[in-house]
Amino acid sequence: MKALVLSHQTLLLCGSLLYASALLSPQLQAEPRPAAEVAAALKVEYQLLQPAYAECPVSKLRKEPGCYLSRLSLTLPFAHQATDWRIYFSQLTPVIASLHPQLQIRHLNGDLHELSAKAGFSGFQARQPIEIDFISASGIFSQSMLPGNYLLQDKYNDVHLITSTSTGNTDASGTPAFIRPFTNSNPEFLQNPADELGVASGESLYQHYLHYQRAQAAAPANTTATQHRLIPKPALQQELSKTAVNTTAGFALQLADAQLQQQLQSALLQLQQQQLLKPQSKTPLQIRIKTGFASAEHYRLRIEPAGIQIEAGGTAGAFYALQSVLGLYDAANKQLPSVLIEDGPAYPYRGQHVDIARNFLGKDFILQLISQMARYKMNQLHLHLADDEGWRIAIKALPELTELGARRCLDLGETRCLLPQLGAGHQPDALPNGFLSQQDYLDILAHAKAHQVRVIPSLDMPGHSRAAVKAMSLRAEKLKQQQSPDWDQHLLTEAVDRSDYLSIQYYHDNTINVCLDSSYRFIDTVLDELVSMHQQAGMPLGLYHIGADETAGAWQQSPACQKLKDAGETDLMRYFLTRTASLLQAKGVQLAAWSDGLKHLQPGQNSQPLPSSVTSYIWQNSYDGAALTAHQHANPGWQVVLALPDASYFDVPYLNTPYARGNHWASRMLSTEKVFSFQPQNLPSLAAVWQDLNGKNYQINDKVPLQQPKQIIGLQGNLWTEVIPDAQSAWQMLLPRLLAFAERSWHLADWQPPYQPGRSYQHNSPLLSAKQSQQYQADWHSFQQRLWFKEVPALLAAGLPVQLPWVGVKQIKGKLQALTEPGLLIEYQQGHQPWQLYQQPLPPANNIRFRSKIVNPLPPAAQTLPQHGLSSTVGTAW
């Protein structure tokens, strides 16, 4: 630290001399340039200096061990003498110390920071970089944790986007151009001294793919079965004949029930688009609803030259049978295989959560997501509509929720918009801002109903509620000025509450006061409109997810809460949950929440009555007690949905490398194969095959055996959007992992080990027999083949971006050898030359880049899509 202090003194001395000389320098005596000109010309560069910095200062912003050292470099092509400017920028972990003598960086709220000049700053010299070193809390593992879109504000409060930091200004790999490439030269981005998870390299990926080849050579997939494999895989699929069914003449629909035909209209329309339905055809497609099936989602499908027969337990089963027909159809050859399928889901709840609160992805994204979920037999859309950074659903009785809460820009007073968190920029009417009108929401509900998908709205409370808190404060202030007697009827905070807290995302003002009657009046008002919209759409609101995130330290100085405590209330979160559950129950709606909040509802806490029905969403990692919590919540009769981050959080990177987009708090990588290998039927067994956040082995002792396995009703994939700024990025994070998750939600494979109550597992515990291991390899291989040869080409042709695997590259005998996942081709590019097909090892060079490529050609209309899944750049990226 002494060397650091000395360098500061040197900088101070140099700064003083520079300031003195500036008084005589004609270069710095020029007139100040307009802010717009400065913002357009200012070159900002971010450089990570030390990902694991040794001298971390004490700060209340440090919520966990560790810190890192970075540098911002600011350069103008001209001299600029003004000092009364400020730069605002976001990064997911807070700055805790700035080391420049004349410039300072201050954490404001959430991820927003302010860079400004101190007294004595002498301005910019032309083409002379100003370098600001600073220390940030925690760690950084991905360039996507630096959102970009820095804003410059001048003394007149005019705000301009600094062009060099624009998120639209990226390099070939999609990384913002202002970020200098991270390197692996500093302890491989280790999270802490105990970290054993190395950063992925071209060589490590090569070895990984080589292992693939060897494993699958030892357990080859059945060629015919692979050709006709569906995703998700049916419970039973039997070939009736090796001769395919010619579909040129199409099929005539035989369906006597007009209501059922209307309910199946979206699937029948897809068959019409593929020219499979032709009224004049003499070959029937019969659909019948019958008793005797295990559920309404089960079906039997028989395809023969004489026609297609579908029997199902209900509308959903018939719908899924038609999806299977579409999945089996070979459009190029106009044929279907002759097969018998008997099928039904492993779990009744097969969900996908999507966060449109942090960054609004738009109505079209949601409609497309519903369509893709239905294609892969997923049936629950958990729509996260409100959080700290935004409120995304119109509530007519409370227009401020979207007038303020759906907009972000630079307005520190937050009367026009919320703070520009997550690099939102300064255009409050442009994405990632926005909201769903009530008509938009009705359209989504109608589309979901037509595709057998239930919509579960969620407005996170009482924590993660900053957008609502600020909007209702603005409403109260406006009504108070109008001398309305009802000005405080929906207020969510107390003016006299002096509680000092900091949320997990570094907010100090984001929590609803659970002790105020006005908070429940607010909840009741919002629920009334949600219930009304669902009724109008013919999709009653049966389940509402309240979030139940809490913020440590909130309400400690609240007079209203103290009054409740004095009256004997010992658990304020339990008070909130039971009171909210009563509001829901009165409207015929069941309570759902994240599992950690629901710990306050466990019996024996206090005298508050428990809700009659609860759905608990388990969001602990497998290595951090997920099995224990799932069993504890299922055994008393609660419904349980598994939403484990290390199995289902699709904002986690595909690969542990700083070049892969993603958040890293729960897991530093989640490959498609890891999703495929998930074992929800036997959570303790995951310790035998997975590792924790730091790449370490762990143990699970099944201390509370599962007594009510049917109470674990399903699985949920989760997409949070802190590091996902737009729909294209969202699709790349979802696809192809969503397909593997759909497989695990629907199909229980032969290789999955059954649950054994009370058994403990640790790394390399006996789990799969030799036969099961071969079954797994064959199953994974057939899934890959189906994925790359049929599903991904179809997704790309539909205009949906898909993340292709990174390429593994290793130098062997003086040549670069490349491998990728089976079923894909490899292309390479040298310098700025056109991409070429990789066919043999290449001479080493620093300017060669590799990427995976699908084998099936895309239709001409899709060839203009951006390239996805760019691999490493040998010599620079790794």
Active site residues: 550
Whether the Cβ atoms of residue 741 and residue 717 lie closer than 8 Å to each other: yes
Contact between residue 391 and residue 405 where contact means Cβ atoms under 8 Å apart: yes
- 462 prior amide bond cis, ω within 30: yes
**With left for phi above 0 and alpha for psi between -120 and 50, is residue 821 left, alpha or beta?**
beta
CA 490 – CA 398 distance, rounded (Å): 9
Cα 12 from chain centroid (whole Å): 44
The SS3 of residue 52 is coil
- Assigned token pair, 86: 């400020």
C-alpha–C-alpha distance, residues 426 and 408, integer Å: 7
Residue 148: exposure state from Cβ atoms within 10 A (0-12, 13-18, ≥19): buried
**CA distances for 93 relative to 63, 404, 504, 506, angstroms:** 10, 25, 10, 8
In the sheet that holds 43-50, the strands lie side by side as 43-50, 67-75, 130-137, 95-98
- DSSP class of residue 452? T
Q: Residue 85 in contact with residue 35, Cβ under 8 Å?
A: yes
Tokens, residue 809: 């590259």
CB 876 within 8 A of CB 183: no
Listed residue (785, 779, 789) closest to 677, CA to CA? 779
3-state secondary structure 267-301: HHHHHHHCCCECCCCCCEEEEEECCCCCCCCCEEE
What's the rounded Cα separation, in Å, for the pair 34 and 538?
A: 56
Q: In angstroms, what is the C-alpha Rg of the chain?
A: 29
- The encoded tokens of residue 682 equal 């036997």
- Which two tokens mark 351? 């969900």
- Calpha distance 337→237 (Å, rounded): 11
d(CA 684, CA 669): 20
Cβ atoms of residues 301 and 334 within 8 Å? no
Q: Taking the CB of residue 750, how many other CB atoms lie within 10 A of it?
A: 9
User: Pairing between strand 252-254 and 284-289?
Assistant: parallel
Q: Could you tell me the end-to-end alpha-carbon distance of the chain, in angstroms, rounded to an integer? A: 32
User: What CA–CA distance (Å, rounded) separates 154 from 39?
Assistant: 10
Judge contact between 735 and 802, C-beta under 8 A: yes
Query: d(Cα 134, Cα 115) in Å, to the nearest integer?
Result: 11
Cβ neighbour number for residue 708 with a 10 Å cutoff: 15
What angle, 0 to 180 degrees and rounded to 10, lies between the N-to-C axes of helices 265-273 and 315-328?
Answer: 20
Nearest C-alpha neighbor of 48 from the set 164, 170, 135 = 135
Contact present, 811 and 250 (Cβ < 8 Å): no
The residue among 347, 354, 233 whose CA lies nearest residue 729 is 354
Return the structure tokens found at 157: 């409060």
**Whose structure tokens read 């929720």?**
401
Token pair 């101190």 is at which residue?
118
CA distance 118 to 100: 10
- Strands of the sheet containing 335-343, edge to edge, are 236-246, 335-343, 299-304, 307-312, 284-289, 252-254
Q: Is the peptide bond before 457 cis (omega within 30 degrees of 0)?
A: no
